[in-house]
Chains A and B, each alone.
Chain A
């Protein structure tokens, strides 16, 4: 079945360090890809998305590029801040329609220290 694999955490970085969280997927067809973020005590929030190959999603300094050839959607940020500490989930969906659920990776906890 369809699945998402992301790197195990936790990831601990110093402020201003470069961040990469790897995400690969297995799916029949070409899904839409997402990164969600969950801050402590809050619900999941959509961070960025890409709906087709070579699309780049970006938001709040984070970027991810949909790579069909490597079935990947790695999350990157050039300079992390303490406020970026959260759990990050990679996910896929086959349609941006209301009745389509998401398939999630296990999540990666990021801790940024000053």
Chain B
């Protein structure tokens, strides 16, 4: 199947700094990507839908000014956690929908963010 990569795989930062996470579809184009957040022993929670060339659609309760999403090309979406705080520490996973012939979502390996 198709491959989605994320970078970095893990990051540790100080409180108040910003962190950018990249999500790339390596061998297919994705007009839509999704960003999920996973807390320990909990479900993946959808944060936002990233649409190429337009603004992201955020789920209720997700602060769009804190979690900035940019989908500048058909193979790249970025999530920037601005002014990170310890409560933002989590596992962030992106997915991208691969159209024909795949017609399914492909997931990145995730990024572990730890804010000190």
Q: With a CB–CB cut-off of 8 A, which chain B residues contact A104?
A: 36, 43-44
Range of interface residues on chain B? Answer: 20 to 34
Residue numbers in A under 8 Å from B107 (CB-CB): 36, 43-45
Q: A89 near B32 (CB under 8 angstroms)?
A: no
Could you give, for residues 26-51 of chain A, a 1 whenever the CB lies within 8 Å of some chain B CB and a 0 otherwise?
00000000001000011111100000
Closest chain A residue to B35, Cβ basis: A101
Once bound together, how far apart are the Cα atoms of A101 and B103, in whole Å? 13
Residue of A nearest to B42 (CB): A106
Expressed in whole angstroms, the minimum distance between the Cβ of A110 and any Cβ of chain B is 15
Return A101 CB to nearest CB of chain B, in Å: 5
Quick check: B49 and A105 within 8 Å, CB to CB? no
* Chain B residues near A99 (CB-CB < 8 A): 32, 49, 51, 97
Interface residues of B (CB under 8 A from A): 1, 4, 6, 31-32, 34, 36, 41-44, 46, 49, 51, 93, 95, 97, 99, 103-110
